[in-house]
Structure 1
Amino acid sequence: MSDRYEYVPHRLLRRQVRDIASGLEGELMAVINEDVSDSGHHHWMELAYIRGASGREFSTAVDNIEPSAPNEGG
């Protein structure tokens, strides 16, 4: 495959998620299978792109995301 990335469907797309590595929360915007290699050997990794409350996006390994807990109380 010559492309360096491809979009991957995910059950939490457009939902609120939490990055367990950083504790940050936001809306899951995309999951992308990216070639993250820096040499001739290809290394593919699924990355989750999350838009935080500030509007800035950050990425994390897709295995680090979980649904955000629903707001409790009234």
Structure 2
Amino acid sequence: MHEAVPRLFEDVSHALLHKRVRDIASGVEGELMAVVREDVSDTPVRERWVRLAYVRGPSGREISTAVANIEAV
């Protein structure tokens, strides 16, 4: 049986936090709710971390995208 690797994350400060932004990948505009550094490793031996931005769109649903895809509106 394959054991799941626990997902770890930590909050990251960002200049656009709680401001209106656009995700250039999807075109969604909304408020930047959080930026996190998340462990997406597939094994505990080799860590792999990514920085994700969480944007709350007009529907109230949050999407995640790469931090590099965020721009101020």
TM-score normalised by structure 2 residue count: 0.85
* 1:60 shift after superposition: 0.2
> Which residue does the alignment assign to 1:6?
10
Q: Which amino acid aligns with 2:72?
A: P
> Which of residues 10, 22, 27 is equivalent to 1:23?
27
Q: Where does the alignment leave 5 or more consecutive residues of structure 2 unmatched?
A: 1-6
Greater shift after overlay, 35-44 or 5-14? 35-44
The RMSD of aligned alpha carbons is 1.6
1:36 to partner: Cα distance: 1.2
Aligned length: 67
Distance (whole Å) between structure 2 residues aligned to residue 20 and residue 38 of structure 1 = 28
Alignment of 1:1-74 (within 5 A): 4-40=8-44, 41-68=46-73
The SS at the match of 1:34 is strand
| In structure 1, C-alpha distance between the alignment counterparts of 2:27 and 2:60, rounded to whole Å | 16
Q: Secondary structure at the match of 1:60?
A: strand
Residues 4-41 of structure 1: per-residue CA shift (max 9 Å, x gap): 11000000000000001111111000000000122332
Separation in 2 of the partners of 1:5 and 1:11? 19
TM-score (norm 1): 0.83
Contiguous gaps of at least 5 residues in structure 1: 69-74
Match of 2:4 in 1: none
